[in-house]
C-alpha cells in the first residue's frame, strides 16, 4: 500500500518550487523584462518568496511584506497575469505532487485576482496561458 502525498507541500517542496518558477520568470520573454530590472539579488528575492509562499500555503507567518505595494509601481499589464499563472501552473506540476500542485495553483489564482483587483486591472478571473503539463491529460 502506498501512502498518498499530503495536500500540503512541505517547506522543501516550496523551496524547489520557488527556485524553479522564478528561474523561469527570469528567462521568460514576457515576465523577465518586468522583473529583471528591479530585482538586484535574485537569491535574496527567492528567499523572500519562499517565506511568502510558506506563509500562504502552510500558515507559517514568516512573511511580513505588502505584495500589493511592491507590485503596484511595476509596469504590469493584465496580460502579464495570464503568463505568470501559466508558468506557475506548469512549474507546480513539475515540482509537486498533483494535490499539492492544485492547492498551490489555487492559491496563485486567488493572489493573482487580488493583485489585479488592487491594481485596477480587469476584474474577471485571469486566464492562464496554455502550457503543456507533463503527464496531464488536460
pLDDT in tens, 67-105: 889 888 999 988 899 999 999 999 999 999 999 999 999
CA distance 131 to 8: 24
- Terminal CA-CA length for the chain: 28
Residue 108 confidence (pLDDT) above 70: yes
Q: Which three cell numbers stand for residue 38?
A: 528591479
**Which CATH number applies to 11-118: 3.40.830.10, 1.10.490.10, 3.40.190.10, 3.30.70.250?**
1.10.490.10
Domain ranges in the chain are 11-118
pTM, two decimals, is 0.83
Cβ–Cβ under 8 Å, residues 24 and 87: yes
pLDDT in tens, 11-30: 999 999 999 999 999 999 99
SS3 127: coil
Amino acid at each position: 500500500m502506498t501512502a498518498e502525498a499530503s495536500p500540503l507541500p512541505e517547506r522543501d517542496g516550496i523551496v524547489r518550487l520557488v527556485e524553479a518558477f522564478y528561474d523561469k520568470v527570469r528567462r521568460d520573454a514576457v515576465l523577465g523584462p518586468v522583473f529583471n530590472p528591479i530585482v538586484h539579488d535574485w537569491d535574496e528575492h527567492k528567499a523572500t518568496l519562499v517565506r511568502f509562499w510558506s506563509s500562504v500555503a502552510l500558515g507559517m507567518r514568516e512573511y511580513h511584506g505588502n505584495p500589493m505595494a511592491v507590485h503596484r509601481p511595476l509596469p504590469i499589464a493584465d496580460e502579464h497575469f495570464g503568463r505568470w499563472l501559466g508558468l506557475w501552473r506548469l512549474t507546480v506540476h513539475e515540482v509537486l505532487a498533483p494535490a499539492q500542485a492544485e492547492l498551490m495553483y489555487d492559491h496563485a489564482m486567488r493572489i493573482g485576482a487580488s493583485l489585479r483587483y488592487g491594481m485596477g486591472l480587469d476584474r474577471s478571473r485571469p486566464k492562464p496561458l496554455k502550457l503543456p503539463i507533463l503527464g496531464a491529460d488536460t
